[in-house]
Amino acid sequence: DGGITQSPKYLFRKEGQNVTLSCEQNLNHDAMYWYRQDPGQGLRLIYYSQIVNDFQKGDIAEGYSVSREKKESFPLTVTSAQKNPTAFYLCASSIVPGQKSNTEAFFGQGTRLTVV
């Protein structure tokens, strides 16, 4: 069953803690993305990666970090430097857009992070 798996579905973080959100895909996609969703603001790009061991900052990368050690995996760490981390986080993957510009992205089911 191909797709993108995000875990956990719900995550609670205490002030000052780092937390890591998992994202795994078995679609054989080279490109992977992390988006943050807040009510009324749509989706904002945090980080993206086109290939293993390479990733780029998106529009709101401050307070976040990522790694891409394997093609299938793109974990996101929300650090204590992120001042307002409570949000819904979505991971996605696709063919690298430069290869096919009208390619769609496929999304995981999301992780809801709450600071307590």
Partner 1 sequence: AQSVAQPEDQVNVAEGNPLTVKCTYSVSGNPYLFWYVQYPNRGLQFLLKYITGDNLVKGSYGFEAEFNKSQTSFHLKKPSALVSDSALYFCAVRSNTGFQKLVFGTGTRLLVSP
Binding site for partner 1 (CB under 8 A): 4, 6, 33, 35, 40-43, 45, 48, 50, 56, 58, 88, 90, 92, 97-98, 101-102, 104-110, 112
Is the Cβ of residue 17 or residue 56 nearer to partner 1 in the bound state? 56
Q: What distance in Å separates the CA atoms of residue 37 and residue 54, rounded to the nearest whole number?
A: 24
Least Cβ distance, residue 16 to partner 1 (angstroms): 27
Contact predicate 82/64, CB 8 Å? yes
In the bound state with partner 1, the residue whose beta carbon lies nearer, of 43 and 52, is 43
CB nearer to partner 1: give 15 or 41: 41
CA 1 to chain centre: 21
Strands 31-37 and 87-94: antiparallel
37/80 with CB nearer partner 1: 37
We find the least distance from the C-beta atom of residue 40 to partner 1, in angstroms, to be: 6
CA-closest candidate to residue 59, choices 40, 83, 33, 81: 33
